[in-house]
Amino acid sequence: MPPAADSPLDGREILLAVTGGVACYKAADLASRLVRHGAGVSVAMTPAAVRFVTPLTFQSLTGREVYADMWQRGEGLRPPHLLLTERAELMVVAPATANTLAKMAGGIADELVSALALSAHGACDILAAPSMNTRMWAAPATQTNVEGLRARGVRFVGPAEGRLACGTAGPGRMAEPDEIAAAVLDILAPAV
């Protein structure tokens, strides 16, 4: 169903970066919600993410090619790690695993999503939705990485508290897709 003409994200471009946490199944729901709000959604996935959810899922939901390889061609001869961030107004990293946050904080660009996060500087804003075990979220290294990323302008939604895939409960659950979509709306279509 096409979005209504007055959709709050009509014509806005979002880059959804999906990393390899068990919560990446929620990213499919998020992609669908953003498209229903009228956004153009491009998806990039880490090698670990494609082990959880196939690129075909996101292609079906967004109607766009999914990028899952650093060496995949972009449109024309533009490399995807530049093309996608130049086209996007917002990069949403969901789920944002501890590994991905550490790469983002350290400027490591050894796969497509981390290269996109590095090339987003000066091109588009970043919203991260952390998802990891409670101990990993509370780890001093993770908290230092989050503080450093916040200081550089990265915005965060979550993590939420609740039951985790590992069977424990506590902070570390990825925010629900509707909460992430609301944060996207706040950033790209603020109330006037």
Name the pairing type of β-strands 169-173 and 160-163: antiparallel
Work out the angle at residue 158's Cα, subtended by the Cα atoms of residues 152 and 164, and round it to the nearest 5 degrees: 130
Tokens read off for 88: 């996007």
Which residues are catalytically annotated? 166
Chain centroid offset of residue 39 CA: 14
146-173 b/e (C-beta count within 10 Å ≥ 16 → b): beebeeeebbbbbbeeeebeeeeeebbb
Tokens read off for 139: 């780890």
What is the dihedral angle through the alpha carbons of 9, 100, 167, 175, rounded to the nearest 10 degrees? -20
